[in-house]
């Protein structure tokens, strides 16, 4: 087991080389602010307003949600924890690697500038919708409620104190997964699964409760449905597909795929 763990850690280290995790409250906020999205501010506000309220403190839903979060402590330092650490990075140029295995190829920002630009615009809209929803209904993060709770990434005091509901990373992850599914329909199921697992990783990391992830993921899928209907997205998608075709023709694959499969095989407690 220790030998396998060493291989997995090394594989993730290769995939993460050069990565710098973004702020825990909004993993790619600075990128999102500099890239224009596909949707209008009015549309984003409408989508955010449709997010239901977080579980009320002390309610049966909240109690069950907290218990589910506490059970995830069992995953600390496991293979799934290592994957969650990797998933904390959502800046488009680096988040490409999360979907290498799902698409059975190896993408790079240098060779896929149009895809990176597309993801930056998706990131803007998904992140903005989540931030607008968070502003309506504050819920503290698990690592804020319990200052001794470990996070699988560096979490600043401001990050720990920032709103937890809905999960912005789950929103972005689901939207990214849907974007990659549109990019490669033949691998849509695998792409959407990774988008989902990015959200799960935030609960594993103790940065969000499971209910935060569920609503974030739902919001991300809704945001992407609106994005996919815009002419600009269709134009960008066609250009990104050309880049994917070239990547596939090169025949490269990611060295992290065996590690990812092992991590995703870990059952959630």
Mean pLDDT of 181-190: 98
Inform me whether the pLDDT recorded for 86 exceeds 80: yes
Give the pLDDT score at 153: 87
Cβ pair 102, 193 in contact under 8 A:
yes
Q: What is the DSSP string of 17-77?
A: TT-----SSSTTHHHHHHS--SS-HHHHHHHHHTSPPPPPTTSHHHHHHHHHHHHGGGGTT
Percent of the chain with pLDDT over 70: 87
Whole-model pTM?
0.88
Whether the per-residue pLDDT at 212 is higher than 70: the answer is: yes
pLDDT of residue 31 exceeding 70: no
Question: Does the pLDDT of residue 101 top 70, yes or no?
Answer: yes
What does the DSSP 8-state code read for residue 186? G
20 burial (CB, 10 Å; 0-12 / 13-18 / 19+) is exposed
In which band, very low, low, confident or very high, does the pLDDT at 120 lie, cut at 50, 70 and 90? very high
Q: Mean pLDDT over all residues of the chain?
A: 89
Which DSSP category does 155 fall into? Answer: -
């Amino acid at each position: 087991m220790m030998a396998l763990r060493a291989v997995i850690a090394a594989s993730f280290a290769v995939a993460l080389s050069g990565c710098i995790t973004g702020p825990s409250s909004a993993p790619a906020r600075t990128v999102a602010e500099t890239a224009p999205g596909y949707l209008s501010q009015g549309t984003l506000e409408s989508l955010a307003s449709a997010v239901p309220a977080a579980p009320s403190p002390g309610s049966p839903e909240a109690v069950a949600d907290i218990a589910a979060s506490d059970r995830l402590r069992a995953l600390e330092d496991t293979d799934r924890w290592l994957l969650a650490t990797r998933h904390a990075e959502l800046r488009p140029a680096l988040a490409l690697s999360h979907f290498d295995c799902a698409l059975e190829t190896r993408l790079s920002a240098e060779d896929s500038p149009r895809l990176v630009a597309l993801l930056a615009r998706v990131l803007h809209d998904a992140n903005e919708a989540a931030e607008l929803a968070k502003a309506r209904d504050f819920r503290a993060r698990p690592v804020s409620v319990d200052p001794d709770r470990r996070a699988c990434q560096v979490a600043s005091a401001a990050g720990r104190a920032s709103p937890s509901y809905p999960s912005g990373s789950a929103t972005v992850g689901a939207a990214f997964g849907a974007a990659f599914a549109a990019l490669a329909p033949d691998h849509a199921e695998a792409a959407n699964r990774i988008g989902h697992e990015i959200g799960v990783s935030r609960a594993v990391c103790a940065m969000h409760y499971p209910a935060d992830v569920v609503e974030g993921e739902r919001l991300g899928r809704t945001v992407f449905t609106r994005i996919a209907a815009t002419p600009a997205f269709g134009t960008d998608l066609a250009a990104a597909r050309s880049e994917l075709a070239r990547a596939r023709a090169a025949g490269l694959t990611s060295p992290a795929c065996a590690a990812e499969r092992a991590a995703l095989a870990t059952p959630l407690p």
